[in-house]
Structure 1
Amino acid sequence: MEQYLLYVAIASATIASPGPGVVLTITNVLRYGFLGAIPGILGISGGMLCIATISATTLAAILAASAMAFTIFKFIGAAYLIYLGIKMWRLSSTFDLQIQTKQKSHKLRFAEGFLITLLNPKPIFFFMALFPQFITPSENYQAQFIALALTFSFLVVIVHCTYAIFLKAAKSGLSTPRGSKLISRVSGSFYMVFGVGLATSHKSV
């Protein structure tokens, strides 16, 4: 497998760029702390691993060839993101962090991270475009693919945990009534923007 370190650099930069998964991690850290954000991070990582696998199956070919399939898939993802955005906007500006922790289980946080990632079709095309650049034709394709997919999933955990560590220091200020209202509105706005952007995106993106 050629230029593995270059792949790691590109993958890390992609993961660190603003997106629904990053917003979810930021929100979870501010509500539940570093450990409380781990289930969501693992969900995002698991979703990326599934997408990396899907990108090498017939579903990837179907989505690449069928505008209808892509449109259906992206609207499902867009609707979910917009739903989360509206939900965030409706949160009380004085929500209690302990109450929020009890109301949202670890399983639900994992599911949110998994669905936010899985219902976005764009990573499928990202993997389809990226993987071939780092595959050595003379070597075992399956082994290389597994290595690239697992690397990306592992990097998701590393990058998002890094976000969580830095955000932990800011939690005390942002968990005040004014701070919690700000993060709810900003996060909700981002989710809705991502949802609208996904719904209006073209297949070539």
Structure 2
Amino acid sequence: MLFAMMTALAALPSASVALVVTRAATLGIANGMAVAAGIVLGDLVFVALAILGLSVVAEAMGGLFMVLKVVGGLYLIGLGISLWRSQGGLVAMTNSRDNSKRGLATSFISGFVLTLGDVKAIFFYASLFPMFVELSALEVLDLVTIIAVIVLAVGGVKVLYAVFSAKAALFLERRKLQKTSQKAVGGLMVGVGGYLVLKA
């Protein structure tokens, strides 16, 4: 049941999905997967906080969560603007120096930070997660199972988004539609980022 819920939530259109799609389409599958890994790590942090009492931690760190949300939103806006201004196509950007280890680290960190500022994730782990898991009676095997569920459900869905986005970018490149798709993805990133900042 938890697996189905996590998969459904991970598949919903969100800022994290937009980030995975953008990094994968512009910088390749590896960057999309790095974002997915950062998102999974952020979810695992929320699991740890849920076990410790997320609602108490969230209240104590309310300002920090707000800052993370704004930073995540501004980052998405910056990505969107850079896509709008870029002269190369989506796939041309794949071969840029951002596809280095530094680019992968940036993708990972951006996924992690975005997840920590995600109100949907905070709400789920503070309110709904305890309905699926008896937090007070967790054993080591239960914890390992929860980690495996999050990695497979959340990570699996985000990786699928990354693979699909990279393939779609290649398809659009071959059909000479990369400029249009680049503008569309850039507009999506600016819109999602602006929404996050306004909701902070």
Would the alpha carbon gap of residues 16 and 184 (structure 1) be closer, same or farther in structure 2, given more than 3 Å must change?
same
User: How many residues were matched structurally?
Assistant: 196
1:46 to 4, 29, 41: 41
Give the drift of 1:12: 0.4
Would the alpha carbon gap of residues 66 and 90 (structure 1) be closer, same or farther in structure 2, given more than 3 Å must change?
same
Query: Structure 1-normalised TM-score?
Result: 0.74
Give the AA of the match of 1:152. Answer: I
Would the alpha carbon gap of residues 117 and 136 (structure 1) be closer, same or farther in structure 2, given more than 3 Å must change?
closer
Indicate conservation of the 8 Å contact 2:51/2:135, yes or no: no
Give the AA of the match of 2:34. Answer: P
Q: Using the aligned pairs only, state the percent identity.
A: 26
Q: How far apart are the structure 2 equivalents of 1:40 and 1:11?
A: 17
Q: How far apart are the structure 2 equivalents of 1:168 and 1:69?
A: 33
Give the AA of the match of 1:89. Answer: W
Q: How far apart are the structure 2 equivalents of 1:40 and 1:124?
A: 19
Instruction: Give the match's secondary structure for 2:191.
Output: helix
Q: How far apart are the structure 1 equivalents of 2:177 and 2:42?
A: 30
Moved more, 171-180 or 9-18: 171-180
Give the drift of 1:143: 5.9
Give the AA of the match of 1:134. Answer: F
Q: How far apart are the structure 2 equivalents of 1:49 and 1:137?
A: 14
Larger helix share, 1 or 2: 2
Indicate conservation of the 8 Å contact 1:73/1:121, yes or no: no
Give the drift of 1:11: 0.8
Give the AA of the match of 2:77. Answer: I
Matching of residues 99-138 of structure 1 within 5 Å: 99-100=95-96, 102-105=97-100, 106-136=104-134
Would the alpha carbon gap of residues 134 and 94 (structure 1) be closer, same or farther in structure 2, given more than 3 Å must change?
closer
2:84 to 89, 94, 99: 89
Q: Which runs of 5+ in 1 are unaligned?
A: 1-5
RMSD: 3.2
Would the alpha carbon gap of residues 177 and 56 (structure 1) be closer, same or farther in structure 2, given more than 3 Å must change?
farther
Query: Structure 2-normalised TM-score?
Result: 0.75
Moved more, 43-52 or 9-18: 43-52
Q: How far apart are the structure 2 equivalents of 1:34 and 1:12?
A: 20
1:174 to 172, 175, 184: 172
Q: How far apart are the structure 2 equivalents of 1:45 and 1:86?
A: 26
The equivalent residue for 1:163 is 161
Indicate conservation of the 8 Å contact 1:94/1:177, yes or no: no
The equivalent residue for 1:13 is 8
- CA deviations over 1:175-203 (Å, ceiling 9, x no partner): 3595332333222222222223223337x
Indicate conservation of the 8 Å contact 2:65/2:117, yes or no: no
1:77 equivalenced with 2:72 (yes/no):
yes
- CA deviations over 1:49-76 (Å, ceiling 9, x no partner): 2233234446642434786555444333
Give the AA of the match of 1:99. Answer: N
- CA deviations over 1:144-178 (Å, ceiling 9, x no partner): 45643542233222112223344454333223595
Indicate conservation of the 8 Å contact 1:27/1:183, yes or no: no
Would the alpha carbon gap of residues 125 and 26 (structure 1) be closer, same or farther in structure 2, given more than 3 Å must change?
same
Instruction: Give the match's secondary structure for 1:175.
Output: helix
